[in-house]
Chain A
Amino acid sequence: MSARILELVFRHKFLLSLPIILGLAGGVFALSRAAAPYYSSRAAIWVERPTLLNGESFTEFNPYNSPAQNQANSMRELLGLNSFAQDIVQRVGPSDVGQRMGELRTNTFIYPYGNHVLYLEYRSRNAVAAQRTVAAIVEAYTELYKTRLRDKAVRSEGFYEEQLAATRTALEEASGNLRAYLGRNPQLANVDISKPPSLALRDVEFARLVAAEQAARESYDHTLQKYAESQISANTIDGTIPNFLVMDEPQVPFAQITPGKRALVLPPAFGLASGMFLSAVGFLIYWRLDHRIHLAEDLAFLGAGVPLMTIPYVTSRRSAWPGTFVRIASALQNGLRPHELAKE
């Protein structure tokens, strides 16, 4: 068994070693990227669940995730947008926008810590750029957040204002009709209008006018409440009370971070392990699917009673002899000659 395994390994040595070499090369490449010292600047953001008072959320809020997770998701999505990334890059500095947009995406790390804390980190070889980028991201996000919420609040305020005017008119009309009917029928002035069935039995028209007036009032009250809420929203946005708050402002880092031993070992080790795994899979495939006979051991199924002799491949150093040549050579060695020569 061990001879078969070794033979298989040596037979397909190039194919089996290729994934290992490629994995290791990939790991070393990743190491070269990760091994360079860098500066890191980080901001800690406290995130609350969006409510009416903090202006709600302008993105879809997943109630099954924590606020920090929701915030991280929306920030990552925004970083994927060219317009947002371009805005950040331009806030940091005008030079080489294209390259820095790519760096922004690869060097920005957003990760939640607990339910409410969100870390926003940027790694750069320039300490100032690291700090300014984090600050720019927070600034751009806050600005976008406020702009969107303000637009939303202004739109809803205008909408409810119009609705309020319409419901007020309807209420005034219904109240006027009721008052006029009571003026024509003064005996109804003392009727308890809180009991509609008894009222309907006395005067159907009176009951209808009372119901219309009540419905108009309810509609007016509801619209008035919504209008008040939209006004609160618009006002609180101006007062900057969003659902997130920057607790730790990004600072200019004073020392470079050199990757630890773990960071140095991990990428090549991971590459090597992946390559070895793929290689092992390749080995197993060959082991299971290759039914060709390579060694005498492969003919063990014939049993011990059958004599077996292995004949070596006829080679000259490294290259194999052509089949015809071997045949002719074998024939010559066993005395066969072209007829003319045979007679000599």
Chain B
Amino acid sequence: MRWPSFLQRDATVALDPLRGISTAKAKAKPSTRPAVFKPDEAPAQDRRPARSRVEPKPRASNDARVLIQEIEAEVSKVAPDFINLTKAVRHFAGRYLSGETPHETVLGIVSPGSSEGRTTLSLAVAGAMAELYHRVVLVELETDATSPTLCSEMKLGAEYGLQDYLEQQATLGSTLWPTRKEGLWFLPAGPLQTSSSRLDSTVRTKKLFDELSEMFDIVVVDLPPLLTSEEAAPLLTGLTGIVLVASAGSTTTDQIAHTLELCQAIPVKGVLLNKVRLRTPRWLASLLKA
């Protein structure tokens, strides 16, 4: 297949679709707090004096627009598997997650290790839930400073993130990010430079879950890998249910068993077996099923 042009360039450029904007931000850091955010309560005053609150000039990059058009064209035309992914998650959410009680559900998307497609499926689950409920928020909980966050990959330009909120340098309202999908909000991880203690962060994260539960019908949390991140396990107690993501061909049965041991107090809402690639010819598989 022919990849979109941004993937054919070197990695730095490939993951930096809005290069021009990044350069501009270095000169004058704009505030990117979404103007359209209107949850039930008004956002509190931002207590972060060091950062500029100047509205940026609209610098809609042609590169970014082309990139997005390219990816969307690729998704819609070339890869029926991607459409199937969305459909499968939508089906899963409609069938198994539609009975969740609004304002009482904090759903964790967990996986034993990294690179198992947890973030992708978190997005898909949150998107599907947004079609079932009025207000859904996706929380990106990333604790490893070395792994890329969705915010950095997408160049969302969010100045404040979850980390800022946990360090009490930003309010909840200033960290929430509305999306184009109706009813879906996004809480990015933000810059990962932890200064507060882990215990304090854990307590505040749980408190955040409570606050978000009050504000939104459903809270979907993209948790760090459970078996490799030490911060993930304490946060499990703040959840009302989990969706376990496993990657076919890399996750082992032992890892699943260990993950379920860690989550034994929390109801498992379902398992998403990601990256399934059947090698058996379809006609043979269907013959077996028959």
Contact = CB atoms under 8 A, between A and B. Distances in A.
A10 B281 contact: yes
Given A294-B249, A332-B71, A7 B278 contact: yes
A341 B60 contact: yes
A328 B275 contact: no
B46 interface: no
B251 A312 contact: no
Interface string A9-32: 011010000000000000000000
Contacts of B251: 292-293
Interface string B90-133: 01100110000000000000000001010111011011001000
A295 interface: yes
A291 B60 contact: no
A10 B75 CA distance: 28
A202 B223 CA distance: 121
Contact of A302 (B81, B156, B271): B271
Contacts of A324: 14-15, 148, 153
Contact of A311 (B15, B34, B276, B288): B276
Interface in B154-185: 154-158, 177, 179-181, 184
Q: Secondary structure at chain B's binding surface: helix, strand, loop or mixed?
A: mixed
A338 B64 contact: yes
B18 interface: yes
B52 to A, nearest CB: 15
Interface in A295-320: 295-296, 298-299, 301-302, 306-319
B81 A313 contact: yes
B272 interface: yes
Interface stretch (B193-201, B225-233, B252-260): B252-260
A44 B104 CA distance: 98
Contacts of A317: 1, 78
Given A307-B269, A311-B275, A325-B71, A334 B253 contact: no
A315 to B, nearest CB: 6
Interface of A: 2-3, 6-7, 10-11, 13, 291-296, 298-299, 301-302, 306-319, 321-344
Given A10-B280, A327-B123, A329-B74, 17 more contacts: A3-B285, A11-B279, A291-B253, A292-B250, A292-B252, A292-B253, A312-B275, A316-B81, A317-B78, A322-B7, A329-B75, A331-B123, A336-B123, A338-B17, A338-B61, A338-B154, A341-B64
List of 3 A-B pairs having minimum Cβ-Cβ separation, nearest first: A335-B181, A335-B179, A335-B180
Interface of B: 1, 3-4, 7, 14-15, 17-18, 21, 32, 34, 56, 58-61, 64-65, 68, 71-72, 74-75, 78-79, 81-82, 84-86, 88-89, 91-92, 95-96, 115, 117, 119-121, 123-124, 126-127, 130, 148, 150, 153-158, 177, 179-181, 184, 186, 246-254, 256-257, 260, 268-281, 284-285, 288
